[in-house]
Structures are given as structure tokens and as C-alpha cells.
Amino acid sequence: MTKSEIDKNKIRRVYKDEVSGDFQDMLVVNSIVINFFWIHFVLELCYIGFKNNPMVIINIFSMLTYAVANYFVRKGNVLVAAWICLWEVYVHAVCATVFMGGECGFYQWLFGLFCAIFVPFVSPILQEKERRGSQIYAVLLVLTYIALVVLTWKDIFPKHFHPSEIAQRVIYCINSIIGFFSVMVYTRMYTSRVGRRNEALLKRAEYDQMTGFYNRQRTQRILENEIKAQAERKLPLSVAIMDVDFFKHVNDTYGHLAGDFVLKELSKILRPAIDQGMIVGRWGGEEFILINPEEYPYPSFCMSIGGICRSIEEHNFVFRGQTIPVTVSIGSASYAEGMSLERLLQEADRKLYKAKEGGRNRVVC
């Protein structure tokens, strides 16, 4: 095969970031589908009671529509199911306004639809096709609402199937409540989801995904704030840098998955220290940084990290049936008045190298 043929047949891998609105969340859409089905079941009984035959037939198709939407949800086509629900409510609101009368206020449902379509999809992270479709639908809702109100004023709709005037007033009040309630519920649901997303983004920005500890940037900010506070509080401030001995040898001998396993096991061993007030961060690679609890003077801190060193040595690191020998070297330093963060970390790092030069598996305070 010539070079030109290779270039002609070459397939490029193209990766796109996956972005979505709320309507691509399976739990949300499935909840909407189920709830709307039962709402229409109740409506069916009402239409039968009012002897409104057109709406009885239309509502049967509405319930079948939600059965179809449920099928798409189960198949994973969540966005298709969401659009089916949106169009069903739109069509049903228009038909109910025509056959039940504008005085019943079924066009109030369009309020809820507008909120549901406008809030999640008008987002800068979405693809242009999705955003354009939602915007066209939102404009259609507004125009339809205006048209239905105007036609109601002009008294154009046929009155053969309309309920009594009292019943229309009651239904209008119910539909108004449904419209505003749907706006309130969906807005609450959406803001709650945005809050959870922001919390997840914050956790990703400040926590190490492997160990669950603070990452280096977050730990450094903590130390900077602690040093600034020393002028007022005068509380003990000590740090220790912990390094896994021969970590490269672990990766080379047992594989990188074994290295990840060791880091996760270390996070479990260090967890009790966090429960006692110690701050632990992943400093980079196989290095961790430990910050003493406020009530620990330097000698107590040294005893605590000495205990951590022994616990790691005595821990049984077993990965896929193989026991991995793991020890750590730790160097610590205590803050002195006027000391900068860089100087404090340099002192801890100097003692860490001293621990390594002294044979590893030890603490130098």
C-alpha cells in the first residue's frame, strides 16, 4: 500500500466533550414521564365526567404517548423522550383550550412548558442545534399563548363540549395553580441540580481524585492562610512532607495499578489522623503533606507522624495476591515567627531528604 493510499484510508479519531441540559438526565425525565401519565389518567376521568368526547379520545393518545416516551427512556434515548413529553403537553394544552373552552385556562400549562424548555437549554455549553431547537420552541409557546388568549376573548371556540360556567371557573383556578406550581417545582429542581453540579466542580478543583485529600493548590492556600493568622492566634503550626519509599520500584515491579492501590491504601491509613484534626493533602505524585491540628505542639505532632510511619510499615499491602512492601520517609518543620511559607516548606523538605539519606522508613523532626 502506497503512502497516498494510507493517507486516503486514514481514519482520524475525533472526541467531543459531552454536554447536556437537564432533559438529558434519565432520572428527571423518567420522573416526568411517570407523573404526567398519572396526571392524564386523572384528566381522563374528568373528561369522561364532563362527557367531552373529543378530549376523551385525545387524552387516550396522550397516555399512549407517555408509554412511548417511557420506552425511549428505557432505551437510553432520554432527549427523544423529553421532546415527546414537551410536544404532548403543548398539543394537549391547545386541544383542551379549544374543546374545553379558553375560560378553563388550559393555556396556563404553557407557562410551565416555557420554564421547562427555556431554563436548562439556553446555556452557553450546549451545542448550537440543541439551543436553536429550544429557542424556536420557546418562541412557539409565547406565540401560541397569545393566540389562544386572543381567540378566547373573541369567543371563537365551539361551545358544544364546554362545561358549565362554574366548572370552567374551578378548572381555570386549578390550571392556574398547576401552571405556577410547575414553574416553582421545576425551578427548584433545576437550581438544586445546578447547586450539586457546582459542588462537584468545586470538589474536583480542590480535591485529589485518587485519594480524596486536598490537592496541592488547596493545601497551599490553607498554609498561606495559617501563616497570615499566626500574628493573631499564635497557635502551633507544623508541617510534614511524607514520601513513599521506592515508589517508582513499586510501579516498575507490580505495575501502575499497584501504585494506585498503594496510594489509596495510604489514604485509608491517614484517615484517622484527619478525624483527629490533622489536615492532609496530596502534594504531588507519591508525596503527601500533613498539617498539625491546632492543639498539637510540635513534639506531639512529631509523635503522631511517627505513629503514622510505623502504621504504614506494619500495614499489609496486598494487591492481586501479592504483598507489596511499603514504607515512607517523613520530614517535618515547625513554624517560627517571621518565617515565610517557602522557608517552612524548604525546611520540611530538607528534613525529608535527611530521612531518606538516613536509610528511609523514618521521621526526621
Considering the domain architecture, whether residues 97 and 229 belong to the same structural domain is answered as no
pLDDT at 338 over 80: yes
pTM: 0.59
Q: Is 286 a catalytic residue?
A: yes
- Residue 238 backbone dihedrals phi, psi, to 5 degrees: -135, 145
Question: What residue ranges in 111-269 does DSSP mark as E strands?
Answer: 238-244
Considering the domain architecture, whether residues 186 and 231 belong to the same structural domain is answered as no
Contacts of 264 (CB under 8 A, 6+ apart): 210, 211
Taking only the tens place, the pLDDT of each residue in 200-213 is 777 777 888 888 89
Residue 17 CB-half CA count within 13 A: 5
pLDDT at 217 over 80: yes
pLDDT attached to residue 126: 57
- For the chain, the domain total comes to 2
**pLDDT interval class at 125 (50, 70, 90):** low
Domain assignment of residue 183, yes or no: yes
Instruction: Return the number of other C-beta atoms located less than 10 Å from residue 62's C-beta.
Output: 23
Domain assignment of residue 149, yes or no: yes
CA distance 56 to 46: 9
Considering the domain architecture, whether residues 275 and 301 belong to the same structural domain is answered as yes
Considering the domain architecture, whether residues 130 and 166 belong to the same structural domain is answered as yes
Marked catalytic residue, from 103, 226, 265, 286: 286
What's the rounded mean pLDDT across residues 247-251? 92
Domain assignment of residue 199, yes or no: yes
Considering the domain architecture, whether residues 252 and 289 belong to the same structural domain is answered as yes
Considering the domain architecture, whether residues 236 and 186 belong to the same structural domain is answered as no
Considering the domain architecture, whether residues 80 and 195 belong to the same structural domain is answered as yes
CATH of the domain at 307: 3.30.70.270
Least confident of 174-178, 241-245, 290-294: 174-178
Instruction: Return the number of other C-beta atoms located less than 10 Å from residue 170's C-beta.
Output: 13
Task: Out of 157, 178, 205, pick the residue that ends a domain.
Answer: 205
pLDDT at 15 over 80: no
Considering the domain architecture, whether residues 177 and 236 belong to the same structural domain is answered as no
Considering the domain architecture, whether residues 87 and 182 belong to the same structural domain is answered as yes
Domain assignment of residue 244, yes or no: yes
Using CB atoms within 10 Å of the CB of residue 143, give its burial: 0 to 12 exposed, 13 to 18 middle, 19+ buried. exposed
Considering the domain architecture, whether residues 44 and 111 belong to the same structural domain is answered as yes
Share of the chain above pLDDT 70, in %: 88
Domain assignment of residue 211, yes or no: no
Residue 200: domain span: 22-205
Domain assignment of residue 287, yes or no: yes
* Average per-residue pLDDT for the chain: 84
Task: Out of 205, 233, 261, pick the residue that ends a domain.
Answer: 205
Question: Can you read off the three cell numbers belonging to residue 3?
Answer: 503512502
CA distance 264 to 310: 17
**pLDDT interval class at 123 (50, 70, 90):** low
Considering the domain architecture, whether residues 271 and 352 belong to the same structural domain is answered as yes
- Beta-bridge partners for 238: 334
Considering the domain architecture, whether residues 54 and 123 belong to the same structural domain is answered as yes
Domain assignment of residue 6, yes or no: no
Domain assignment of residue 120, yes or no: yes
Taking only the tens place, the pLDDT of each residue in 59-102 is 999 999 999 998 998 888 888 888 888 899 999 999 999 999 88
Q: Which residue has the higher pLDDT, 138 or 132?
A: 138
